[in-house]
Structure 1
Amino acid sequence: MGIKSVLKGLYETKYKAVLLVTLLLIPAAFGILLYSKATTGEYFQKGVSLKGGDTYTIPVDQYVPVESLQDRLSSRLPNADLTVRGISEFGRLTGITIEVADATEEEVISSLRAEGIRIEDGSYSKESIGASLGASFFQQLTIAIIFAFLFMAIVVFITFRSLLPSMFVILAVFSTILQALAVTSLIGIKLSTAGIAAFLMLIGYSVDTDILLTTRVLRRKEGAVMDRVYSALKTGITMTLTALVTVTLAYFLTDSEVIKQIMLILTIGLVFDLINTWVQNVGIIRWYLERKERARNG
């Protein structure tokens, strides 16, 4: 018996056990976020655009070890929260950006010069975001996500006109967002406004595949349940894998750190969307249909 047959057997006959594993990912994600809150004071790390601080863009015409530079600057500025990134064009380093909070301009520039980086007065740019403005951005984006979920729930309910199937879709989308957020927290991504926008994009993509599945399985009556599942799965997997390849290539090909963060979050989210749509939601829908069938026959 090949691996494909074993996996198909698990998918078709042991779906409740596999469903339980996917449901356990939800408390695991909550655990990661709560641990981050307990140890750092935040559920996830925020970038300068969300918590306030300064962003320096500095052109360079010399070799700069970007990764080690951040560690050395952190040792020189122990009270500062900073991130160093390189700016490249056609594979050649042309500048660096430094996002920093709790450090003055004089401290940052003098520390860079002490590391041997040549910086002429007036050759670099500085953008500042106040703490209150960053907090305001974060609050507004949080409200946007809440309203996105609310309107998504309304549209889903109008589409299916049944509470439980609508709740199944919402649970799958919520699981995807929660688990993607937990992974970004776990690997130390400092979320910017662009990162929050990526989560909004992820809501739209995730609900799309879940509605595809639910519509095919619940509204169509021809064929067995698993035949309808496989019909939806073929279309949905093709959509998601195409998107995964696209965002993964974009992550490696772009030099923009903003786009990199968006693409990385989308990649993580799309992987979880595969699990939550085609394992979690399929398992819940099958359980729901089996209960309806037993109630009808009982």
Structure 2
Amino acid sequence: MAFDLYDLVNKYPPQQMMAIPLAIFVIGLMIIGVNFMFTGAPVSLGIDFAGGTAVTIITDDTPEQLESYFASYPLISIGEGLNRGNYLRFGPMSDDQFRLLSQDIGARYPDAKVDQIGESFGETLQQQALFALLISFIGMSVIVFIAFRTVIPSIAVVFAAFADILITAAIMDIIGLPLSLGTTAALLMLIGYSVDSDILLTTRILKRQGKLEDKLSNAFRTGFIMTTTTLSAVLALLIVSWIGGIEIILQIATVLLIGLIVDLINTWMFNAGLLKWYVQSGRAAKEVRR
């Protein structure tokens, strides 16, 4: 028998389909919790939110030489790109120390770009970003409940979106990608991508006529093609931004790439498994009759 990728959603019982995404979710929750215990934030904060200085320079100096030259300053990390591009992140410092840093940079790297964000301003941005995430998530949840008017399918969509954000944030902790304005924007975009695929799946299963197996495989075919097409575009964006040394675009593309892969797992394993159980158990028919 030929292998049919799009029939995978019909090969396993709901319990097995949901087990792996739930296990990944629990692990992600633990990672977020540990990071919160040690840093006071679920995800490591970047300069945009914690305050600090970002320096972009074009130089042949090695990272070791850069570390040595800036040894007297709170250098956090050095990001390397192609075309001799380097992205340096410094922690918060006093005004006097910042002036000295600016002088040292100007003396050795006259074409460098220097950006500074104060701690208090960073905290304000942090609060605004959190508010934006909460409002987006709450708004999405309300729209989903209004659209489907059934508890279990609506909860499945909302949980899948929440799991996408949480697991992506946990992976950001693992790979050392800080939360910045760019990565926050990417997380907001993930809410839209997640809900898009989940609503596609839920609508196909609950609103269309036919066998459950056919509806699942057809929904998976459409959703998988949609997501992999987006993944290809995001991967191209990531490669171009890495070659060009465009840090903020690179961060956005990285978060989107991670989040879209996570969304494939949550949508087509957890959400599909839950909806399969929901229909097979007869609960869907009972709620329709009501």
TM-score between both structures, scaled by the size of structure 2: 0.86
Report which structure shows greater RCO (CA 8 Å, sep ≥6): 2
Matching residue of 1:278: 268
Cα 1:217–1:10 change in 2 (3 A) is: closer
Q: Within the alignment, does 1:209 sit opposite 2:193 as a pair?
A: no
Q: CA deviation at 1:73?
A: 6.2
Cα 1:275–1:70 change in 2 (3 A) is: farther
Q: CA deviation at 1:164?
A: 2.0
Selected match of 1:263 from 237, 245, 253: 253
Deviation per residue, 1:55-98 (Å, 9 max, x gap): 233444xx1224x4565568x24x725232346xxx522x5332
Q: Distance in 1 between matches of 2:57 and 2:12?
A: 59
Amino acid at match of 1:242: T
Q: Distance in 1 between matches of 2:259 and 2:8?
A: 27
Q: Distance in 2 between matches of 1:130 and 1:38?
A: 24
Q: Is the 8 A contact 1:48 1:54 kept in 2?
A: yes
- SS of corresponding position for 1:45: coil
Selected match of 2:61 from 47, 64, 76: 64
Cα 1:39–1:72 change in 2 (3 A) is: farther
Q: Distance in 1 between matches of 2:219 and 2:32?
A: 33
Matching residue of 1:171: 159
Q: Flag structure 2 segments of 5+ consecutive residues without an equivalent.
A: none
Q: Distance in 1 between matches of 2:127 and 2:160?
A: 25
Q: Distance in 1 between matches of 2:83 and 2:281?
A: 61
- SS of corresponding position for 1:267: helix
Q: Flag structure 1 segments of 5+ consecutive residues without an equivalent.
A: none
Cα 1:267–1:200 change in 2 (3 A) is: same
Q: Is the 8 A contact 2:55 2:88 kept in 1?
A: yes
**Alignment length (residue pairs):** 280
Matching residue of 1:105: 98
Determine what percentage of the aligned residue pairs are the same residue. 31
Deviation per residue, 1:220-277 (Å, 9 max, x gap): 12x2111101111111000100000110111011221100000000000000110011
Matching residue of 1:219: 207
Selected match of 2:178 from 183, 190, 203: 190
97-106 or 228-237: bigger deviation: 97-106
Kindly report the root-mean-square deviation, in angstroms, between the aligned alpha carbons of the 2 structures: 2.8
